[in-house]
Amino acid sequence: MGGRTGAGSRIRGRTVLVTGGSDGVGREIVRGLVALGAHVLMPVRDRAKGLRVRADLLGSLPPAALEQSRARRSDVSGVSGQQPGVTLMDLDLESLASVRTLAVELLGADAPLDAFVLNAGIVPMGEGPRRLTEDGIERTLQTNFLGHFALTTALVPLLRQSRGQVVVQCSAATARGRIDLADLQSAHAYRPFAAYRTSKQALGVFAAELSRRSAAGGWGVRVRACHPGMVLGTAIAPRVRARLPQRLIRLAERLGNTPAEAASTALAAVESPRRGFRMFVPGGPLELRGSPRERAPWPSLLDAAQGCELWREAELLGYSRITRSRGLR
């Protein structure tokens, strides 16, 4: 992506939905997209923080970039259609009601949706015992996977209309191994990092399955996985971070990506015009840092039987609760 400008970008003038845009890597993905001329729909769980981040993002970009990133339609959320760059919306992935409200709003506005970057995530290390959301689902699984699954599948009609892109933010922690579908919610043995790995692997397996369904159904939706490498300068896992010795943090910062560098794999994924399920990773040693490169998707994500079973399980857990609601099919 290095050196690309809005003028040369295939996403100039496109509308992109990005979760987790209010901090860390997501904030830089939003900045990069707007700089390339995209209009970003940025749902946040904290509006005050969202407003601060939006002001910071827009203030950092040249007016010419903002001008070309005006929304194509002004009716999303009734917000800022006249303001270029970023439209704030509301989303708490820990609440399926919140996911449903956002989906209904987007489908009802009938605004274009050219790409969806599923970036929001938590690593609950150091945060005590297993917690359930208001929907009774293990919190890491719902935030990282199930909420995104429900939102994406609800928005498929919009993505089909624009033959759009879906980009899922994975983690190198999920490059190997299989999900235990019998214990998706880590009820039998809860370990925070294992719950994170399960949730992220589920997200990647879902992405591959979405790609297969798109190909089989002729939807035209292109699905990409990416991961940001190792990124110390974000807000994730704050309790663990607070306990790390400074020299370890400095070493990890040197070995890893800054949030802006880390955003470039998702940006490369959104820009890629190629068909089929694709994967973008940092190109440096051990994929911890560096400019993005495309690689073969991890075999751990590609088991079609597991993808099918996961989809069914996710529908049982949450999807049907959303689609049964008014306004969604």
Ligand X SMILES: NC(=O)c1ccc[n+]([C@@H]2O[C@H](COP(=O)([O-])OP(=O)(O)OC[C@H]3O[C@@H](n4cnc5c(N)ncnc54)[C@H](OP(=O)(O)O)[C@@H]3O)[C@@H](O)[C@H]2O)c1
* Nearer CB in complex with ligand X: 45/130: 45
Closer CB to ligand X, residue 25 or residue 225? 25
The verdict on whether 319 is a catalytic residue reads no
- Active-site residue identified among 116, 145, 149, 196: 196
CB of 184 to ligand X, least distance (A): 17
Cβ neighbour number for residue 146 with a 10 Å cutoff: 30
Give the shortest CB-4-to-ligand X separation in angstroms.
22
**Cα→Cα distances 141→121, 138, 243, Å:** 10, 6, 25
> Between 19 and 211, whose beta carbon lies closer to ligand X?
19
If you search the block for the tokens 């929001």, which residue do you land on? 120
| Shortest CB 305 distance to ligand X, Å | 26
Q: What is the contact surface with ligand X in residues (CB under 6 A)?
A: 19-20, 22-26, 45-46, 49, 91-94, 119-122, 143, 169, 171, 227-228, 230-231, 234-236
- Residue number, 119 or 214, with CB nearest to ligand X: 119
DSSP 41-77: EEEES-HHHHHHHHHHHHHTS-HHHHHTT--S-S-GG
d(CA 61, CA 249): 30
CB crowding 260-281: b at 16 or more within 10 Å, else e: ebbbbbbbbbbbbeeeebbbbb
Distance between CA atoms of residues 93 and 140, nearest Å: 10
Supply the minimum distance, in Å, between the C-beta of residue 18 and ligand X: 9
Helix, strand or coil for residue 289?
coil
Catalytic (active-site) positions: 196
